[in-house]
Amino acid sequence: MDEAGSIPMTRARLYVLLGAFERDIRTILARYVLSEMDEVEALGNLYEKAFQRRSDDEAASDGVPLTDYLDLREAYDLLNKHRGHLPAELGQEVRELTVQLDRLVGVRNRVMHSRPLLVGDSDTAPILLGQ
């Protein structure tokens, strides 16, 4: 524990936190966007890329949503694009986090791809995600 009494944010804890954030994005897309429009319309120019990624995944089936095959930034950009389908408070949260998303994506890529972490990465993700 650190001086504040909280458990330090290890790479493993960051992995879980960032993975949960990505699942939340995909869940929000499914609940509020894909429930209102089909995948072709919702994904727009990202549809073909996501479709190809799913086709290349031997373990995937047609039932797996294409949003599962988007990068974090792509999925988040879709949330912003379709923010009008989100509840007002959630749409506001999405808009506010967008400013910091590039920093979060950098931390995410270092954590998820076993790259060396930068000084401050263990503090940045929880702060940006309000943890």
Question: Does the structure show a pLDDT above 80 at 6?
Answer: no
**CA distances for 119 relative to 63, 71, 90, 96, 110, angstroms:** 40, 24, 31, 24, 12
Look up the pTM and report it: 0.85
User: Averaged over 35-60, what is the pLDDT?
Assistant: 94
Q: Which among 42, 54, 31 has a CA at the least distance from the CA of 78?
A: 42
pLDDT at residue 1, as a whole number: 46
Q: Could you give the dihedral angle defined by the CA atoms of residues 95, 100, 104 and 107, in that order, rounded to the nearest 10 degrees? A: 180
